Amino acid sequence: MRPVEASTYAPRVDSIFWMLTAASGAVILLVGTLVLFFSIKYRRGTATPRGPVPDRLSREVEIGWTAATAFAFLFFFWFAAVAETTQFEIPRKAMEIHVVAKQWMWKLEHPNGTREINTLHVPVGVPVRLVMTSQDVIHSFFVPAFRTKQDVLPGRYVEAWFEASKPGTYHLFCTEYCGTDHSRMGGGIVVQSQSDFARWIDAQPQGDSLADQGAVLFRRMGCTGCHGGSSRIRAPSLAGVFGRQQPLEGGGFVTADESYLRDSILLPNKQVVAGYQPVMPSYQGVASEDDLIRLIAYLKSQKVVSPRPEVGP
Ligand code: CUA
């Protein structure tokens, strides 16, 4: 029985699976038939000649099967590579969900601040980008109906995406052994029509968006002290930082994505922006995973309004 295909990715994975199964089946059939054929042909007592195979013929056969195997391999490789690379090309317009795994639950957050535990509501036909991290050990986010599986690691962000293609409720599993209740660390993805999803999210308790909560944290944690603009300590302005190419001290650039911002808060001296001193203290152990999500959401929401006027004569 075929497991349900509920994402745009699922039919691609399945088609590769069925092609490989068909190819393997054909090879098994061919080899089995030949074994049977020759064991009858050369059975004991027959007068079939048993001399060596002619040189020329065997060379052609050898070139033939080597080429056929190579082409079959390249054919499958190409199909799988195309499917695999789409898993790393996250659509720009994707809706974002933050996932924090911990022993033994999935914490899921929508950009508007709606939080869910173990159950994630998403609309059908909309790409969903997952920005995931773990609070403790390695977990793995697995939705069989989507054919989506991604390890979730502590200390960094990993990304995955899917686009659900069929409304319904689908299993979410943890597929990395993570302790006593690993087997219970599951939940569900509720895929709704876009109008049902809009109604659902409107019906959730209205709180502040992640970015608004981040703005409060940004002040409370003292970030404004240096990054506020009026500070005497020279710190890079953070308005419009997200997505920017940051020049680094010592040469090179880094794209300011979620992982970079996360590192800049926890390990500020790992990559120092060109022209600045490595004076920022680490917020390791100060900012929780939930705080980081909020701070980063705030930084992402900061657009450059106008360049700061240069002070000087
Ligand atoms: Cu989390 Cu297994």
Q: Hey, where are the domains in the chain?
A: 10-44+53-88, 95-203, 213-301
Phi, psi of 152 (to 5 degrees): -115, 120
CA of 171 to the centre of ligand 1 (A): 14
Residue 175: which of 191, 145, 152 has the closest Cα? 152
pLDDT-based confidence at residue 312 (cuts at 50, 70, 90): very low
DSSP designation for 87: T
| Nearest atom (ligand 1) to Cα of 183 | 2
Is residue 32 pLDDT above 80, yes or no?
A: yes
For residue 5, the cross-strand partners are none
How many CA atoms lie less than 13 Å away from 253 in the CB half-sphere?
7
Looking up tokens 């190819």 gives 23
Judge whether 262 and 277 are in contact, CB under 8 Å.
no
Question: Rounded mean pLDDT of 78-107?
Answer: 89
Question: Rounded mean pLDDT of 115-144?
Answer: 93
Q: With a 6 A CB cut-off, is 176 part of the ligand 1 pocket?
A: yes
Q: According to the model, what pLDDT value does residue 56 have?
A: 67
Judge whether 130 and 97 are in contact, CB under 8 Å.
yes
CA distance 7 to 163: 5
- What CATH class has 213-301? mainly alpha
CA-closest residue to ligand 1 atom 1 = 139
CA distance 12 to 164: 14
Residue 133: which of 107, 154, 113, 162 has the closest Cα? 154
Q: With a 6 A CB cut-off, is 182 part of the ligand 1 pocket?
A: yes
Give the tens place of pLDDT for each residue, 154-179. 988 999 999 999 999 999 999 999 99
Is residue 189 pLDDT above 80, yes or no?
A: yes
| Nearest atom (ligand 1) to Cα of 177 | 2
CA 239 to chain CA mean position, Å? 27
CA 71 to chain CA mean position, Å? 31
Is residue 139 pLDDT above 70, yes or no?
A: yes
CA of 60 to the centre of ligand 1 (A): 53
| Nearest atom (ligand 1) to Cα of 139 | 1
CA of 184 to the centre of ligand 1 (A): 8
CA of 110 to the centre of ligand 1 (A): 22
Question: Rounded mean pLDDT of 112-131?
Answer: 91
pLDDT-based confidence at residue 244 (cuts at 50, 70, 90): confident
CA of 279 to the centre of ligand 1 (A): 38
ipTM above 0.95, yes or no: yes
Q: With a 6 A CB cut-off, is 185 part of the ligand 1 pocket?
A: yes
3-class DSSP state of 238: coil
CA distance 154 to 101: 9
Q: With a 6 A CB cut-off, is 152 part of the ligand 1 pocket?
A: no
- Higher-confidence residue of 28 and 247: namely 28
pLDDT-based confidence at residue 152 (cuts at 50, 70, 90): very high
Residue 295 corresponds to which tokens in the numbers above? Answer: 């701070």
Is residue 313 pLDDT above 50, yes or no?
A: no
| Nearest atom (ligand 1) to Cα of 185 | 1
DSSP designation for 232: S
Q: With a 6 A CB cut-off, is 100 part of the ligand 1 pocket?
A: no
Q: According to the model, what pLDDT value does residue 55 have?
A: 64
CA of 154 to the centre of ligand 1 (A): 12
Q: Which run of H or of E encompasses 18?
A: helix 10-41
CA of 178 to the centre of ligand 1 (A): 4
Question: Rounded mean pLDDT of 93-118?
Answer: 90
Q: Which run of H or of E encompasses 296?
A: helix 289-301
Q: With a 6 A CB cut-off, is 265 part of the ligand 1 pocket?
A: no
**Cβ of 138: how many Cβ atoms within 10 Å?**
14
Give the tens place of pLDDT for each residue, 197-225. 999 888 888 778 888 888 888 888 878 77
- What CATH class has 95-203? mainly beta
Give the tens place of pLDDT for each residue, 277-298. 777 888 888 888 888 888 888 8
Least confident of 1-15, 30-44, 173-187, 270-284: 270-284
pTM comes to 0.77
C-alpha to C-alpha distances, 300 to 29, 209, 303, nearest whole angstrom: 57, 12, 8
Q: With a 6 A CB cut-off, is 178 part of the ligand 1 pocket?
A: yes
CA of 133 to the centre of ligand 1 (A): 12
Amino acid occupying residue 261: L
Q: What is the mean pLDDT of the chain?
A: 86
